[in-house]
Amino acid sequence: MVKQNKSAWYSSRAVWIGTLTLGGGLIVASSVALASPAPAGSPAQAAPAAQSQAKADQYPQLPEGPGKQTTIRVCSKCHSPTNVIANGQSRQGWEDTITKMAGLGASGSDEEYTEILDYLIKNFPQVTTKVNMNKATAADIEKQLGFSTKQAEDIVAYREKNGNFKSVDDLQKVPQINAMDVASRKNRMTFE
């Protein structure tokens, strides 16, 4: 269970607002409405009611289970929710991440955050290994980091054409890979 009350979830919000201009000039507002469109690269979130089976199928990479739909609804506004695949961590780690996301402008109720926390703890336990972006196959990039099949293939194709990536900044040069795709997975990537 999440111990924090609603105000605790939001307490660090002010600190984060205004710091959200990422590399690509992407600006994240704290007041994103529930039904706002997903960022480029994610399947469109057509309706705010996210409970239908059709929506579940939008992210087949995410395991089925209680909390999946809530996670997709609350966590797909700024980056693809599949980034959670890349960020498996302890219970405390997930609590901290959700608190951080609320601070960044995610909007959910206490109940929703608790559901999301339970879903994440159950399905994405701690992983410490990193993926070497200069050696990994497209299949590994997809499976371990939660990039889409197309994105994973594009990353490998770009690497084959242009040589090794030196850093996360290089990775953003791949067409269809934006700053947020990279930032939300950076802890699991190395460039050796």
Q: Site mask, ligand HEC, residues 88-117, x = CB under 6 A?
A: ---------xx-xx--xxx---------x-
Residue 106 C-beta: closest distance to ligand HEC, Å: 3
Torsion of CA 100, 44, 167, 157, to 10 degrees: 160
Nearer to ligand HEC, 36 or 52 (CB): 36
- Beta carbon of residue 34, minimum distance to ligand HEC (angstroms, whole number): 10
Question: Three-state SS for 132?
Answer: strand
Q: How many residues bind ligand HEC (CB under 6 A)?
A: 22
Minimum CB distance to ligand HEC, residue 28 (Å): 5
Residue 189's SS3 state is strand
Whether 149 and 131 have beta carbons less than 8 Å apart is answered as: no
> Are 75 and 108 a contacting pair, CB within 8 Å?
no
Q: Which is nearer to ligand HEC, 117 or 152 (CB)?
A: 117
